[in-house]
Chain A
Amino acid sequence: MEPELWVLATAVALPFVAAVLTPFLYRVVGERVGYFGAVVAAVSFGLVLTQAGTEGTVSASWIPSLDIAVRFHVDGLALLFGLLASGIGFLIFAYAGSYMHGMPSLGRFYMALLAFMGSILGVAFAADLVFLFLFWELTSVTSFVLIGYHTGDAESQYSARMAMVITVGGGLCLLVAVLMLAVAAEGAGVGAFDLAAILENTDAVRLALEGNGLFVPALVLVTVAAAAKSAQVPLYFWLPGAMVAPTPVSAFLHSATMVKVGVYALARVRPLFHGPEWMVLVATLGMVTMTVGAVLAVVADDIKELLAYSTASHLGLMIAAFGFRTHYGPEAGAFHLLNHALFKAALFLVAGIVAHEAGTRRIEKLGGLWRDLPVTAAITAVAALSMAGLPPFSGFYSKEILFEAAWETAQSVGGLAWLYPATAVFASIFTVLYSLRFLWLFLGDRPDELGAVPRAPTALAVSPGILAVGVAVVSLVPELAIGFVVDDAASAAALEPVEIHAGLPTHLSGPVVMSMITIVVGFVTFRYYGETKEALGRIRAGTGPLHPTTIYDQVLSVTERASTLLAARVHNGLIRSYVWWLLGATCALAVAGYASTTAGIPALSGGETPVAMGLVLGVAVFAAVAITVAESHVTGVLTLGILGFMIAIFYIVASGPDLALTQLVVETLLLLIFLLVIEELPAFYGELELGRTLKDATLSVVVGATASLSVLYAARDGSNAVTETASYFVDNAVKEGGGTNVVNVILTDYRAFDTLGESIVILLAALSVLVLLTMRDRGETR
């Protein structure tokens, strides 16, 4: 069955429209606007749900000449992701309605949250590379706004900027990869930006990519982009920082949806890039992250920090799963995508409740909360045991499939590939450890200094409760979720038919032994949690200089120092140096452009030059030389006027009346402007400095040379024949444009868009003059 375009377009566009309305609505209804967001999310969820069972691509034309279109593709993977985003979005809005009670600037908060939900739905369904990139970047931007919710807080600013730098930097890698894909797809005869078509013709596109030598670069760039977004080693460090955001944001963006965009993208392009390089890169990356994240989660002191590192670890699990070649890979990845979203969002909301009621997030200050928060404790038990991967909870099923994938890969490849199952077990032991530690917030001894903890309001418990029920349902009847969407999702990323079996193991096999080791060692080590944490903490402190955060800070401070130095040279407030850099850069770019063309420098053609033209140009050159030796501004400007009028006459001789007219008028205007400002200028130029003169002279020569070169290139064929473009305009100006002045017909008709752009330039110049003067008069100067 084909999906409906309008349904998808509405589901994606509705949150954006609602986001625009939110600030106005906030003024009317106040903080109840959160429930408006919940309604929007519910509508989007409903719309996406109606598309369940459909598969295919629908599109509406946007820029047909570049093959860019509003294109949506629906399949199991897109549906799973879209349903998670809108469904969890609904719960988050409902939770935020009471959690964010009494907080400032909620209009902006909900606006960003809604725009984020729209972008994530866009990423899920976009089947156009340009569109995908657009939504991808939008998720980064909205995430930046949400992390920086406490705008006055230095830590908040630092973390928001860090998340922005990393994820947008990854986005730039994606942009390059998208362009590579587009080039290859065009070469393969598939629509350039049409992701759905690319994925249908993977073999052709792959051959084209390999033919260009772009296969590995594109693969690496996509992986880097996904790693930045999905917090993989070594780019994971922004995720714990992002925990300064309010808890609903952490639960929504930084566990359930945004960080999964990278996983989702890798799953999407898996059929295209699948191969040995893919497995070495992606599966290894995922495994390393899974381990590092799990170890760091054990070391964490703060409950949100623990959950953040654990999220990175689980994202690593999913990425590793999609990296494996066997069909178990996508099965584990897609199933864990669902499971992780459910239990991690629930746990984050629980963390929010604990912080809200107990007033602290320090792990050692919390314990034995089950008496105070019984409902929350029950929710936590279900979610945390699922996270630990204990049977018969949902997390166990997906992790078991991952173990099977790693086991089978090791068996078929052999050698170093046995590290995959070994690492998986090692990381999973730590997963059991920190999951139990989180659960012990509710079970263990209650610290004496912990004061009275009030019951959580029902409004806060509902959302995590629903999520926990979801986890329980998937745990008890996994076939329901698998049959509904997970099987389809896995097959969208798989090359071979998939059939997910979830259930308790019935006979002993390699993967089952792996699970048993994990659970037993995990439980035994949990008795020595404090010692383990201390030892790991010492290792962590000892390797301080190697931490990505340290390196990030160093890179950032070096960049800042370098840009301060550069700005002092380029941007020093003297118009003279601005002109110097502007002209110099323009020349450098132009010459680089000429150098990159294969054509050599055209030879001078000695055509006939009329005497009149020679005379006029001679006077112009004479005037130009005279300007340089002029003693005062008045003589200088008047001589410049002579030069300008000579050029105008040259245009007349060369039969360009329009240009001549413009030149004359502009020249006159220039003189008048000069008359306006003449009183402000010093009468004489003053003494010349040798260094500055040399610098300016060099620039003049360079500009002159570039201009001459441009003329040579523009008139490269040397004949006076009318070019094809020119004769087209001459032939069609009267017929189509209705004007005999070809220049003007070009300006107002053929190239009207350029003219419009130029008029906007004038406008901007006028506005900036106004703004500058207004700012100065208000005293906003340095």
Chain B
Amino acid sequence: MRTTARVVVPIILVVATSLFLQGHNLPGGGFIGGVLTVAAFTLVYVAYSLDYLEVGVLDREVDYEQHIGEHRTVAAYRRLFMFGLALTVASGLVAVALGEPFLSQSYTYVHLPLFGEIEVASAIVFDTGIFCVVVGGLLTIFSVVGAE
């Protein structure tokens, strides 16, 4: 199980990122990318444990006596979904500030070396917000419930 997770998790994460980025023109998007990322993290939890990310990857101390609600990982997730919600709302408010209705989107083309012509849509900001909310929200639930 752990071996599989070691191999699979990076692949899932890459796929999730690509799904998220191509979302505007091909199947994918913030929600799907987010859920897939959650799947990757959940796999880590099932294979290792909740504290593996803290102890094994980031090499931090973990206070096992602490209540799960104040757990550092959970707090990070909580910050993530708050950030996500703020981002979605802010992306909508920018449109209001520009005199458009709330949440209206726009797009433009940018030329980058190496990639060629790339389309940048303002919807990506909104989608990033959704991504963060999904990842943060679901992982909060999973880590808290999983710790039971």
Q: B residues within 8 A CB of A740?
A: 24-26
Q: A residues within 8 A CB of B74?
A: 770
In the assembled complex, the Cα of A744 lies from the Cα of B19 at a distance in Å of: 12
In chain A, what residue has the closest Cβ to B136? Answer: A766
Q: Give the one of B24, B88, B142 with max A CB within 10 A.
A: B24
**Which residues of A, 711-750, contact B by the 8 Å Cβ criterion?**
737-741, 743-745, 747-749
Q: A residues within 8 A CB of B68?
A: 773, 777
B-contacting 9-mer, from A207-215, A414-422, A656-664:
A656-664
In the assembled complex, the Cα of A770 lies from the Cα of B92 at a distance in Å of: 28
Given contacts A759-B129, A762-B133, contact A769 B140 (CB under 8 A): yes
The contact of A752 among B92, B141, B142, by CB within 8 Å, is B92
Contact of B24 with A759 in the complex, beta carbons under 8 Å: no
A755 CB within 8 Å of chain B: yes
Given contacts A741-B25, A766-B138, contact A749 B42 (CB under 8 A): no
A756 CB within 8 Å of chain B: yes
Contact of A755 with B130 in the complex, beta carbons under 8 Å: yes
In the assembled complex, the Cα of A760 lies from the Cα of B89 at a distance in Å of: 11
User: Chain A: interface secondary structure?
Assistant: helix
B52 CB within 8 Å of chain A: no
Contact of A738 with B24 in the complex, beta carbons under 8 Å: yes
Contact of B103 with A756 in the complex, beta carbons under 8 Å: yes
B53 CB within 8 Å of chain A: no
In chain A, what residue has the closest Cβ to B70? Answer: A774
Contact of A665 with B43 in the complex, beta carbons under 8 Å: no
Q: How many residues of B contact A (CB 8 A)?
A: 56
Contact of A737 with B107 in the complex, beta carbons under 8 Å: yes
Given contacts A676-B46, A759-B129, contact A769 B144 (CB under 8 A): yes
Q: A residues within 8 A CB of B84?
A: 759
How near does chain A come to B8, taking the closest CB pair, in angstroms?
11
B-contacting 9-mer, from A370-378, A436-444, A666-674:
A666-674
In the assembled complex, the Cα of A426 lies from the Cα of B140 at a distance in Å of: 71
A449 CB within 8 Å of chain B: no
**Which residues of B, 50-81, contact A by the 8 Å Cβ criterion?**
67-69, 74, 77-78, 81
In chain A, what residue has the closest Cβ to B12? Answer: A668
B123 CB within 8 Å of chain A: yes
**Which residues of A, 526-579, contact B by the 8 Å Cβ criterion?**
none
Q: A residues within 8 A CB of B31?
A: 662, 747
A689 CB within 8 Å of chain B: no
In the assembled complex, the Cα of A677 lies from the Cα of B148 at a distance in Å of: 9
Given contacts A672-B39, A741-B23, A741-B29, contact A763 B137 (CB under 8 A): yes
In the assembled complex, the Cα of A763 lies from the Cα of B84 at a distance in Å of: 10
Q: B residues within 8 A CB of A743?
A: 27, 29
A216 CB within 8 Å of chain B: no
Contact of B78 with A770 in the complex, beta carbons under 8 Å: yes
Interface size class of A (residues with CB under 8 A): 35 or more
Q: A residues within 8 A CB of B67?
A: 774, 777
In the assembled complex, the Cα of A190 lies from the Cα of B140 at a distance in Å of: 51
Contact of A738 with B88 in the complex, beta carbons under 8 Å: no
In chain B, what residue has the closest Cβ to A775? Answer: B69
Q: B residues within 8 A CB of A673?
A: 42, 142
Contact of B24 with A741 in the complex, beta carbons under 8 Å: yes
Q: Give the one of A658, A675, A739 with max B CB within 10 A.
A: A739
In chain A, what residue has the closest Cβ to B108? Answer: A738
**Which residues of A, 629-662, contact B by the 8 Å Cβ criterion?**
657-658, 660-662
In the assembled complex, the Cα of A777 lies from the Cα of B66 at a distance in Å of: 11
The contact of A739 among B24, B36, B88, B134, by CB within 8 Å, is B24
Contact of A672 with B25 in the complex, beta carbons under 8 Å: no
In the assembled complex, the Cα of A673 lies from the Cα of B107 at a distance in Å of: 38
Contact of A763 with B42 in the complex, beta carbons under 8 Å: no
Given contacts A662-B31, A741-B25, contact A765 B142 (CB under 8 A): no
In the assembled complex, the Cα of A742 lies from the Cα of B32 at a distance in Å of: 15
Q: B residues within 8 A CB of A752?
A: 92, 103, 105, 123, 126
In chain B, what residue has the closest Cβ to A675? Answer: B46
The contact of B105 among A676, A737, A766, A774, by CB within 8 Å, is A737
B121 CB within 8 Å of chain A: yes
Q: A residues within 8 A CB of B145?
A: 676-677, 769
The contact of A676 among B24, B42, B130, B140, by CB within 8 Å, is B42
Contact of B123 with A669 in the complex, beta carbons under 8 Å: no
In chain B, what residue has the closest Cβ to A764? Answer: B137
How near does chain A come to B81, taking the closest CB pair, in angstroms?
5
In the assembled complex, the Cα of A661 lies from the Cα of B36 at a distance in Å of: 10
In the assembled complex, the Cα of A677 lies from the Cα of B45 at a distance in Å of: 12
Q: B residues within 8 A CB of A677?
A: 145
Given contacts A762-B137, A766-B138, A766-B140, contact A744 B42 (CB under 8 A): no
12 CB < 8 A contacts A-B: A665-B35, A672-B46, A676-B46, A677-B145, A740-B25, A741-B27, A745-B24, A748-B30, A749-B103, A752-B123, A753-B103, A762-B134
Residue ranges of A at the interface with B (Cβ–Cβ < 8 Å): 657-658, 660-662, 665-666, 668-669, 672-673, 675-677, 680, 737-741, 743-745, 747-749, 752-753, 755-756, 759-760, 762-763, 765-766, 769-770, 773-774, 777
Closest 7 pairs between A and B when the two form their complex, measured CB to CB:
A738-B107, A739-B24, A748-B123, A762-B137, A766-B137, A752-B103, A766-B140
